[in-house]
């Protein structure tokens, strides 16, 4: 699964080899033991990737091969595409700006998205 961590400093993406239910259970246990609230809600998250990366066509092909429902790639402008994913938001409150978003899609698609995100991070962040 893909785990997006949102903090004041920005967003960080990592690939986690764990079932969604187990990760949510661990977070719930942590919240219980520390006396914090935990809010869990299904939703969508999105991030930008450069549109002109050579691997974009490969990502779209992998997306079709795995029939990864819950993930879309939409052109934003000539420079960027938006990758949008269905998943679950975990935070202290519904209005929290910081938290974790978890998305489960096909293994190949997850790996491809993660590697593309890593390879393009400097480029995307330097343009914004």
Interval 50-64: pLDDT, tens: 888 878 888 888 777
CA distance 31 to 38: 6
State residue 49's pLDDT score.
87
Parent domain of 69: 2-127
Give the pLDDT band of residue 43 (cuts 50, 70, 90): very high
Q: What's the domain count of the chain?
A: 1
CA distance 36 to 51: 40
Percent of the chain exceeding pLDDT 70 equals 92
| Closest C-alpha to 87, from 110, 112, 62, 111 | 110
Q: Is 56 left (phi over 0), alpha (psi -120 to 50) or beta?
A: alpha
- Region 79-93: mean pLDDT is 93
- Region 38-46: mean pLDDT is 94
Interval 69-85: pLDDT, tens: 788 889 999 989 999 99
- Region 16-41: mean pLDDT is 94
């Amino acid at each position: 699964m893909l785990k997006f961590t949102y903090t004041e400093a920005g967003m960080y993406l990592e690939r986690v080899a764990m079932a969604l239910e187990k990760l949510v259970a661990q977070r719930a246990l942590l919240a219980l033991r520390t006396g914090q609230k935990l809010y869990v809600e299904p939703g969508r998250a999105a991030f930008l990737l450069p549109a002109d990366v050579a691997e974009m066509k490969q990502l779209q092909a992998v997306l079709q091969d795995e029939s990864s429902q819950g993930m879309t790639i939409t052109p934003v402008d000539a420079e960027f595409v938006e990758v949008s994913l269905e998943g679950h938001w975990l935070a202290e409150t519904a209005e929290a700006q910081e938290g974790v978003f978890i998305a489960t899609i096909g293994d190949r698609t997850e790996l491809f998205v993660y590697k593309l995100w890593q390879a393009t991070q400097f480029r995307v962040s330097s343009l914004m």
